[in-house]
Amino acid sequence: MSKWIMSILLSGTIIFVFLSQASGKEIVSTLADQQEVAVTIYNENLALVRDQRQVTLPSGTVDLALREVSARIRPETALLRSLTRPGGLTILEQNFDFDLLTPRKLLEKYVGKEVQLVRTHPETGEDRFKTAKVLAANDGVVLKIGDRIETGVPGRLVFPDVPENLRDRPTLVISLDNAKAGQQTTELSYLTSGLGWRADYVAELNQDDTALDLSGWVTLTNQSGTTYRDALLQLVAGDVNRVQDQMRVSKTMMLESAADVATSPQMREENLFEYHLYTLQRPTTIRDNQTKQVSLLNAAGVSVNKEFRLQGNPYYYRGRQGDLGQKLKVGVFVEFDNRKQVNLGIALPKGIVRVYKQDKQGRPQFVGEDRIDHTPENETVRLKLGDAFDVTASRKQTDFRKLSGDSRYNYCFESAYEIKLKNAKDEDVMVTIAEPVPGDWRILNESHKHRKASADTALWKIKVPSKGATILKYRVEVKY
Pairing of the two strands 195-205 and 351-358: parallel
d(CA 271, CA 259): 7
**Three-state secondary structure call for residue 381:** strand
d(CA 209, CA 466): 17
Contacts with 381 (C-beta within 8 Å, 6 or more apart), sequence order: 335, 336, 337, 338, 348, 353, 372, 375
d(CA 284, CA 281): 9
Which stretches in the chain have pLDDT values below 50? Answer: 1-24, 246-263
| Residue extents of the structural domains in the chain | 4-100+166-192, 111-158, 195-303, 305-338+379-479
Measuring CA to CA, how many Å separate 437 from each of 91, 168, 300?
66, 66, 40
How long a stretch of residues is the chain? 480
Q: Give pTM, 2 decimals.
A: 0.73
Burial 197-226 (b: 16+ CB within 10 A, else e): bebbbbbbbeeeeebbbbbbbbebbbbbbb
Pairing of the two strands 156-158 and 46-57: unpaired
Q: What is the DSSP string of 160-175?
A: S---TT-BSS-EEEEE
pLDDT at 419: 98
Give, as one character, the DSSP assignment of residue 100.
Answer: B
CATH number for the segment(s) 305-338+379-479: 2.60.40
Q: Please name every residue paired with 260 in a beta bridge, in sequence order, or none if there are none.
A: 270
